[in-house]
Amino acid sequence: MIPNPSADTSAPLPPGLPHLAIVLLWYPLFTQPFIFREVEALRRRLPLKVYTLYGRNTRCCSGEMLAAGSDVHRLGVPALPRLLGAFFVQLLTHPLRLARLLRSCLFHRWATWETLGENCWAFLAGLHLARLMREDGMDMIYAPWPRGTATAARVAACLAHIPFATSVRGDNLEPADPDLADKLRDALFVRVNNAADKERTETFAAGEARDKTCLVYNSLTLPADAACPIRLQAPFRLLALGRFDVTKGFDILLRACAVLKERNLPFTLTLAGSGGHLLGLGNEEKHLLALRTELGLEQCVQLPGLVNHNELPALLMAHDIFVAPCVVHASGRRDGIPNTVIEALSYGMPVVSTNINALPEVVRHEETGLAVPPSDPAALADAIQRLVEHPEEARRLGEQGRQLARRMFDPDTNSRMLAELFADRHARWKRTCAA
């Protein structure tokens, strides 16, 4: 039986539940509040332990994150001697098995040296984690990302003789890492967080994930007891936020703002986020700043940089319309359902988005928001202007979006579904092994 987290959290978990090892690069990480909420919700339902491949990175973390991060087994550079030791132990005791793992995990044509480096480190970490996880009594391993963390999980699972599972998200499938099909084939199951990516995952490559792809939506990460006061008075306050990445379409949004300016619509835009670089500006951030200047939008478009997740409720409450102008990049990369869209919907904000990939699952045109074709500044401007000129429609869409988001991304429901998925699939695996 999976326990209910609303019950006494100090009570011990019932016996018989699988002990779950979760492998991440860092934990907690302030840019991944949805992962943090998911892990902590699972912790109340399953016995679990978090292992990270890298060291501590608590920049911008909340006090709650810092407290949860105290119970994590971290590797990082100080663990290198132990990782190399695990490699040489395998080389001396099981050289053929090690050679097969090396060939399967690392002998690929990697897109970048950075990706190769991450997977080499993850491979060594997996050799070391196999022993740790056996000692800790872990029954299965979960890598929420299908890249380096799944490499470590796959290696550790092979040596520890336990199953592993992973997750696939929108931009993992296209362009995909060269070992993704192997990971999907070997995984006990593959979790996806939207229906569009479920279909894409099941038909990826030779269908390695067919019949074992499971849909569990993400959970809300903000307090659910607030709603935005949609005033819609001039100047109209637009909000967009997220990492400054080519899939976000923020350049299209700036061009849409130029259209609104030409139409003499009074507005301001807060475009919050960052290129993710600790030193200097990322290329996309430089491009957006230059485009803002080129279009003459310095007075009406503000780029405040990174926003701490704790500041997000106040930011949402201070704006009227949320805009998600996502695009499909020429490489095939795309978003699934951005978590910022989920949170904006949950606060009752009217949302304008594009209609790519999984966004129509939540931004349902003229039902929970307005959806327009991607890479079309005029269409984006038209949708924003429509909400401004029809405030009652904007409020109706916002309220219906709020109800949908709180139902579809309910933390209690979705964490229970995910915990039951782990328990059920592990029980099936045990029965198969015993047969």
Same domain? 241 vs 139: no
Which one-letter DSSP state was computed for residue 177?
Answer: P
Question: Where do runs of H (alpha helix) occur along 50-179?
Answer: 63-68, 80-93, 95-106, 113-135, 148-160
Same domain? 92 vs 162: yes
Same domain? 316 vs 378: yes
Q: CB neighbours of 361 closer than 8 A, spacing ≥ 6?
A: 194, 195, 196, 337
Q: Is residue 333 part of a domain?
A: yes
Same domain? 196 vs 276: no
In this prediction, residue 3 carries a pLDDT of 64
In this prediction, residue 239 carries a pLDDT of 98
Q: Is residue 11 part of a domain?
A: no
pTM, entire model = 0.91
Specify the number of domains making up the chain: 2
Same domain? 372 vs 338: yes
- Phi then psi for residue 366, to 5 deg, are 65, 10
Q: Is residue 224 part of a domain?
A: no
Q: Is residue 226 part of a domain?
A: no
Same domain? 289 vs 419: no
In this prediction, residue 435 carries a pLDDT of 79
Q: Is residue 231 part of a domain?
A: no
Instruction: Give the residue numbers spanning the domain of 148.
Output: 20-219+411-434
Same domain? 427 vs 397: no
Same domain? 128 vs 208: yes
Same domain? 178 vs 192: yes
Pairing mode, strands 20-24 and 140-143: parallel
What does the pLDDT profile of the chain (435 residues) look like in tens digits? 566 655 445 567 888 899 999 999 999 998 888 999 999 999 999 999 999 999 998 887 878 888 888 889 999 999 999 999 999 999 999 999 999 999 999 999 999 999 999 999 999 999 999 999 999 999 999 999 999 999 999 999 999 999 999 999 888 998 999 999 999 999 999 999 999 999 999 999 999 999 999 999 999 988 877 778 888 999 999 999 998 999 999 999 999 999 999 999 999 999 998 764 433 446 888 999 999 999 999 999 999 988 888 888 999 999 999 999 999 998 888 999 999 999 999 999 999 999 999 999 999 999 999 999 999 999 999 999 999 999 999 999 999 999 999 999 999 999 999 999 999 999 999 999 987
Q: Is residue 290 part of a domain?
A: yes
Same domain? 242 vs 258: yes
Q: Is residue 258 part of a domain?
A: yes
Which one-letter DSSP state was computed for residue 3?
Answer: P
In this prediction, residue 381 carries a pLDDT of 98
CA 84 to chain centre: 31
Same domain? 319 vs 367: yes
In this prediction, residue 20 carries a pLDDT of 98
In this prediction, residue 281 carries a pLDDT of 47
Q: Is residue 171 part of a domain?
A: yes
In this prediction, residue 280 carries a pLDDT of 42
Question: Where do runs of H (alpha helix) occur along 263-338?
Answer: 283-294, 312-317
Same domain? 150 vs 289: no
Q: What is the CATH number of the domain that holds 275?
A: 3.40.50.2000
Q: What CA–CA distances, in Å, run from 46 to 49, 189, 321, 430?
A: 10, 18, 39, 17
